[in-house]
């Protein structure tokens, strides 16, 4: 059975030595001193390790089942959910007026990493509730907030997001779910939604479905879409539960992974719903939550890879096989541990440098969300730009690294007992949901690069430039800064290629969008590694007693620059080859 230990020390390093959050001048951050976050993380680590991780493999094996119209979650989930609810873990960053603890989104993210690493499927129930909470908080009337939020904050009731239908996922304009206005101001919702995570389960007394549907008079395509609150059980004026709404589960899907998460077909048969936000502005309402939801998925990408990496590392240290080519290292044993072999080391370093880089990037992204919540338009624009990069790059790489972790285990990794297959199967979904990664690339290149006249991408390049400049003349940093400069220039060159060619032929830009997303992901991680290396260097200069920890950060930064960043040159060459070879064959010629 795989094991998991929350990397609290690494988290603290990013929070306090890289992002220096307690002095970051963001409202709500001044309380985030090292001892406070250490205390929160130590407790979160216990929950993750002692409660969630032990249910991960069992949840995968047992999965969810539909019994008499109700979804049953795997054994132990219900009690664990109750324990987390009681511990207040569901409401860390929720508004105090609705029972939340009012911590920054950053703290939600940091804790979430540990929870997702320990049990991604379990964490979906709370994650979806968090998304639905945010939507009601931003778009709800005061009455709606008072009615729905307190129980959602406590996770007594959970939430869902209903977008996809059998014939449309990305292209929601084709949606056919209807909202029929009633005399009392409510609507009757009719239609079928699919892929609804936490669509039904046995861990909450009510489920608050947020449903996109078409109300009359909104026009064609996405313009006609509105967002509705459709509870599983109707709620009386006094807050007590009333009659069952006309919502039912058609099916629980059999998926490649995240078996513990109930993915449901939901049937709305004239179910009673109430408009959330403005009529016919449902897409806009959905999109305001999108950054957060996508960042949550970006986090899943590296969090699952972290868990997989820990188990690959343990196996590489433990499993004896072959001898080091440079001479026997374990002369008392029948063979040396796998970790002596250069290709195993390469594999592990790729995992380690990705996971630690992605953690820093994700936490930085969370600080931008917190700034944006406080009305910082620049931060809002920047995180809008970075969101598709984090989502697409981190989930692609997270899956790739989970597969590499599985590879360290050889044949044993293919056997389900090892748990290594589950990491790969679970990580796979993050590349798909909340917008498949090809859609992320389209969002980045087709929309975000040009947003506000390209202001945000220019701001990003300025940040990279400033970081490089800050280390001018620091010989110890030159070896790290130069590769970042090169990669950043290559990224700019790719952007220029799009600008020059994309106007006359949009395909010239879009055929390179996936490469651009990955290239930008690498530049972001390299930026994080420069920052982490500098922080480590500072600690070493200050005479820290823990030299090994900081020296490892610098060595890992060097690895990333030498071994991962060269991908940028490849992506640039692919981008600059244009759309011609990509689009040469008509559909009939395939």
Site for its own copies in 423-442 (CB under 8 A): 424-425, 428-429, 431-433, 436-438, 441-442
Q: What phi-psi label fits residue 330: left (phi over 0), alpha (psi between -120 and 50 degrees) or beta?
A: beta
Task: Pick between residue 243 and residue 583 the one whose CB is nearest to its own copies.
Answer: 583
Is 552 near its own copies (CB under 8 A)?
Answer: yes
Is 302 near its own copies (CB under 8 A)?
Answer: no
Q: Report the alpha-carbon distance of residue 389 to residue 517 in Å, rounded.
A: 6
| Residue in the structure block whose two tokens are 């220096």 | 20
Q: Report the alpha-carbon distance of residue 306 to residue 359 in Å, rounded.
A: 9
Q: Report the alpha-carbon distance of residue 544 to residue 550 in Å, rounded.
A: 9
Single out the residue of 411, 453, 473, 545 in contact with its own copies (rule: CB under 8 A): 411
Closest contact distance (angstroms) between CB of 381 and its own copies is 24
Q: Report the alpha-carbon distance of residue 155 to residue 203 in Å, rounded.
A: 9
Is 239 near its own copies (CB under 8 A)?
Answer: no
Task: Pick between residue 119 and residue 406 the one whose CB is nearest to its own copies.
Answer: 406
Is 589 near its own copies (CB under 8 A)?
Answer: yes
Among residues 434, 482, 576, 588, which one is catalytic?
434
Q: Report the alpha-carbon distance of residue 559 to residue 548 in Å, rounded.
A: 16
Is 562 near its own copies (CB under 8 A)?
Answer: yes
**Binding range to its own copies, per CB under 8 A, among 138-146, 202-210, 227-235, 580-588:** 580-588
Task: Pick between residue 157 and residue 550 the one whose CB is nearest to its own copies.
Answer: 550
Site for its own copies in 90-129 (CB under 8 A): none
Q: Report the alpha-carbon distance of residue 28 to residue 435 in Å, rounded.
A: 31
Task: Pick between residue 256 and residue 470 the one whose CB is nearest to its own copies.
Answer: 256
Q: 434 an active-site residue?
A: yes
Q: Report the alpha-carbon distance of residue 449 to residue 452 in Å, rounded.
A: 9
Single out the residue of 255, 284, 373, 489 in contact with its own copies (rule: CB under 8 A): 255
Is 548 near its own copies (CB under 8 A)?
Answer: yes
Single out the residue of 514, 518, 523, 537 in contact with its own copies (rule: CB under 8 A): 514
Q: CB atoms < 10 A from the CB of 398, how many?
A: 31
CA-based nearest residue to 549, from 571, 561, 565, 532: 532
Task: Pick between residue 241 and residue 335 the one whose CB is nearest to its own copies.
Answer: 335
Identify whether the C-beta of residue 312 lies closer than 8 Å to the C-beta of residue 351.
yes
Is 5 near its own copies (CB under 8 A)?
Answer: no
Closest contact distance (angstroms) between CB of 548 and its own copies is 6
Is 488 near its own copies (CB under 8 A)?
Answer: no
Task: Pick between residue 275 and residue 480 the one whose CB is nearest to its own copies.
Answer: 480
Q: CB atoms < 10 A from the CB of 538, how many?
A: 12
Tell me the residue length of the chain.
Answer: 590
Identify whether the C-beta of residue 91 lies closer than 8 Å to the C-beta of residue 101.
yes
For residue 192 the two structure tokens come to 């079928």
Site for its own copies in 190-229 (CB under 8 A): 194-195
Active site residues per annotation: 434
């Amino acid at each position: 059975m795989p094991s998991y230990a929350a990397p609290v020390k690494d988290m603290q390093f990013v929070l306090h030595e890289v992002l220096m959050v307690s002095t970051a001048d963001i409202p709500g951050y001044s309380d985030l001193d090292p001892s406070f976050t250490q205390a929160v993380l130590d407790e979160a680590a216990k929950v993750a390790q002692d409660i969630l991780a032990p249910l991960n493999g069992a949840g995968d094996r047992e999965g969810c089942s539909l019994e008499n119209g109700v979804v049953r979650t795997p054994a132990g989930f219900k009690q664990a959910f109750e324990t987390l609810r009681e511990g207040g873990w569901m409401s860390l960053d929720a508004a105090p007026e609705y029972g939340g603890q009012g911590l920054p989104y950053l703290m939600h993210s940091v804790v979430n990493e540990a929870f997702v690493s320990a049990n991604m499927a379990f964490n979906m129930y709370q994650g979806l509730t968090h998304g639905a909470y945010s939507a009601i908080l931003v778009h709800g009337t005061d009455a709606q907030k008072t009615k729905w939020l307190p129980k959602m904050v406590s996770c007594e009731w959970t939430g869902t997001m209903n977008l996809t239908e059998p014939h449309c996922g990305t292209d929601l304009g084709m949606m056919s779910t209807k909202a029929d206005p009633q005399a009392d101001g409510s609507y009757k919702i009719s239609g079928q939604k699919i892929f609804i995570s936490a669509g039904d389960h046995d861990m909450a007394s009510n489920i608050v479905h947020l449903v996109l549907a078409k109300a009359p008079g909104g026009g064609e395509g996405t313009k006609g879409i509105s967002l509705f609150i459709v509870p599983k059980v109707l709620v009386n004026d006094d807050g007590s539960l009333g009659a069952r709404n006309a919502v039912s589960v058609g099916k629980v899907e059999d998926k490649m992974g995240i078996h513990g998460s109930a993915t449901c077909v939901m049937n709305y048969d004239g179910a009673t719903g109430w408009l959330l936000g403005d009529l016919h502005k449902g897409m806009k309402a959905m999109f305001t939550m999108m950054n957060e939801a996508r960042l949550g998925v970006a986090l899943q990408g590296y969090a699952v890879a972290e868990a997989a990496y820990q188990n690959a590392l343990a196996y590489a240290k433990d499993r004896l096989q072959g001898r080091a080519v440079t001479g026997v290292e374990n002369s008392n044993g029948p063979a040396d541990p796998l970790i002596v072999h250069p290709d195993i080391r390469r594999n592990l370093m790729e995992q380690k440098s990705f996971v630690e880089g992605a953690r820093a990037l994700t936490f930085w992204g969370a600080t931008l969300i917190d700034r944006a919540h406080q009305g910082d338009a620049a931060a809002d624009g920047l995180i809008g730009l970075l969101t598709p990069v984090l989502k697409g790059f981190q989930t692609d790489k997270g899956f790739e690294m989970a597969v590499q972790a599985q590879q360290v285990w050889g044949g044993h990794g293919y056997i389900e007992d090892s748990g290594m297959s589950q990491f790969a199967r679970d990580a796979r979904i993050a590349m798909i949901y909340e917008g498949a990664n090809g859609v992320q690339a389209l969002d980045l290149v087709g929309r975000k690069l040009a947003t506000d006249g390209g202001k945000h991408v220019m701001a990003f390049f300025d940040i990279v430039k400033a970081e490089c400049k800050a280390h001018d003349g620091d010989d110890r940093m030159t070896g790290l800064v130069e590769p970042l400069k090169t990669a950043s220039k290559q990224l700019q060159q790719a952007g220029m290629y799009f600008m020059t060619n994309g106007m006359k032929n949009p395909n010239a830009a879009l055929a390179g969008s996936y490469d651009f997303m990955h290239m930008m992901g690498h530049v972001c991680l390299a930026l994080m590694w420069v920052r982490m290396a500098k922080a480590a260097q500072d600690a070493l200069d200050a005479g820290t007693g823990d030299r090994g920890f900081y020296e490892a950060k610098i060595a890992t930064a060097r690895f990333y620059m030498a071994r991962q960043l060269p991908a940028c040159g490849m992506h640039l060459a692919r981008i600059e080859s244009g759309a011609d070879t990509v689009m040469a064959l008509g559909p009939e010629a395939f």
